[in-house]
Amino acid sequence: MTNTTKTHALHYGLLAILAIAFMILPQYHSGNLARVMVLAIYAMGYNILFGYTGLLSLGHALFFSAGMYGLGLTMHLGGWTPAPAFLAALLASAVVATVIGFLVLRTSGVAFMIVTLMFAQAGYLTILYFGTYTRGDEGFALQQATRQLMGLDLTDQTIRYYTALILFSATLLLLAYFIRSPFGRTLIAIRENEERAKMLGYNVTAIKLKAVILSGVISGASGGAYALLFGNTGATFATVQFSILPLLWVLVGGAGTTTGPFIGVLFMTYLIDYASGQTTAYLIVVGVVLVLVTLFLPHGIVGTLRNKYAGWLP
């Protein structure tokens, strides 16, 4: 098998397993998996910037919540239906990502981390400030009756699962295609050596801006999907903690890999779920596992597999 065939086999195999998983798994786990897939979209969006372009953002909750409120507010206050509201989510995160990207790309390294963090914090406070519309920290619930798409009840657990799977598949395949495209390869070139990329004649800033926008829109899609499928918005999803989560997921799963973000979300979700069932001190367990992962799996789960056993892993 060539590496390309192997890659295709991996991606389609994963999607096939996920499609079958719903029929086999008990309801609790399939419900969990739906949420994992939606959040994995967020992690994949983050991975474009962090894993492939080498830009460590601490402000992605801003893009996630732009999507969440883009969908939530248009549905809740505007009475829109899910399809146009989801487009509003994409648009909102695209606009926010463009403006923020334009500003933050003047910086790099740690300054980039801080500037993204600060803008996200300003965004969080803005959501609180306009509490009349957003209901601040508690947010609002999207009523079950409004969460219908083309006659399908998105709150039904089968439809919710497969909607999440469709969005997840679309993102995964898009990104798998994208990183093999010339544009994706340019991003990796920038990550590996920005100066050289510049000398080769690439307009590095413009390319990075495109990466920020793509990353932001995918994160926003995840935020919109979360609000739509789980019926909840709130300022908690715009806090710093929610910006750090995708970083953690991607680092644990494997930065710069296509499947790492999904593995990271899956691993962390079940780690917290399992540990909290065993002990009330589950955060200690989570902490210890994180330390162990850094000690023994330096490139995350998928990244370490790639380095040690399967160099072809995408």
CA–CA distance, 123 with 220 (Å, rounded to integer): 14
Single out the segment in contact with other proteins by CB under 8 A; choices: 6-14, 102-110, 162-170, 187-195. Answer: 102-110
Task: Please choose, from the candidates 213, 224, 215, 231, the residue with its C-alpha nearest in 3D space to the C-alpha of residue 85.
Answer: 224
Residues in 243-282 at the binding interface with other proteins, rule: CB under 8 A: 244, 247-248, 251-252, 255, 272-273, 276-277, 280-282
Shortest distance in whole angstroms from residue 15 CB to other proteins:
23
Of 7 and 220, nearer to other proteins (C-beta) is: 220
Of 13 and 131, nearer to other proteins (C-beta) is: 131
Q: State which H helix or E strand residue 149 sits in.
A: strand 148-149
Which of 213, 293, 301, 302 contacts other proteins by CB under 8 A? 293
CA–CA distance, 71 with 171 (Å, rounded to integer): 19
Which of 33, 55, 71, 115 contacts other proteins by CB under 8 A? 115
Q: Report which residue type is found at 18.
A: L
Shortest distance in whole angstroms from residue 214 CB to other proteins:
21
Residues in 10-29 at the binding interface with other proteins, rule: CB under 8 A: 26-28
CA–CA distance, 50 with 29 (Å, rounded to integer): 29
Shortest distance in whole angstroms from residue 191 CB to other proteins:
13
Of 8 and 135, nearer to other proteins (C-beta) is: 135
Task: Please choose, from the candidates 28, 93, 88, 37, the residue with its C-alpha nearest in 3D space to the C-alpha of residue 64.
Answer: 93
Helices 61-76 + 240-253 axis angle, to 10: 120
Shortest distance in whole angstroms from residue 285 CB to other proteins:
9
Residue found by looking up tokens 């998928």 in the block: 302
Asked if 9 is part of the footprint of other proteins (rule: CB under 8 A), the reply reads no
Supply φ then ψ for residue 96, to 5 degrees. Answer: -60, -45
Residue found by looking up tokens 């926003």 in the block: 220
Asked if 69 is part of the footprint of other proteins (rule: CB under 8 A), the reply reads no
Asked if 109 is part of the footprint of other proteins (rule: CB under 8 A), the reply reads yes
Task: Please choose, from the candidates 47, 26, 13, the residue with its C-alpha nearest in 3D space to the C-alpha of residue 265.
Answer: 47
In 10 A of CB 280, how many CB atoms?
8
Size of interface with other proteins, in residues (CB under 8 A): 73
Residues in 118-157 at the binding interface with other proteins, rule: CB under 8 A: 118-119, 121-122, 125-126, 128-129, 131-132, 135-144, 155, 157
Binding mask 199-238 vs other proteins (x if CB under 8 A, - otherwise)?
Answer: -------------------------------xxx-xxxx-
Of 120 and 214, nearer to other proteins (C-beta) is: 120
Cβ contact 59:100 at 8 Å: yes
Cβ contact 254:303 at 8 Å: yes
Which of 9, 174, 284, 310 contacts other proteins by CB under 8 A? 284
Shortest distance in whole angstroms from residue 61 CB to other proteins:
12
CA–CA distance, 180 with 33 (Å, rounded to integer): 28
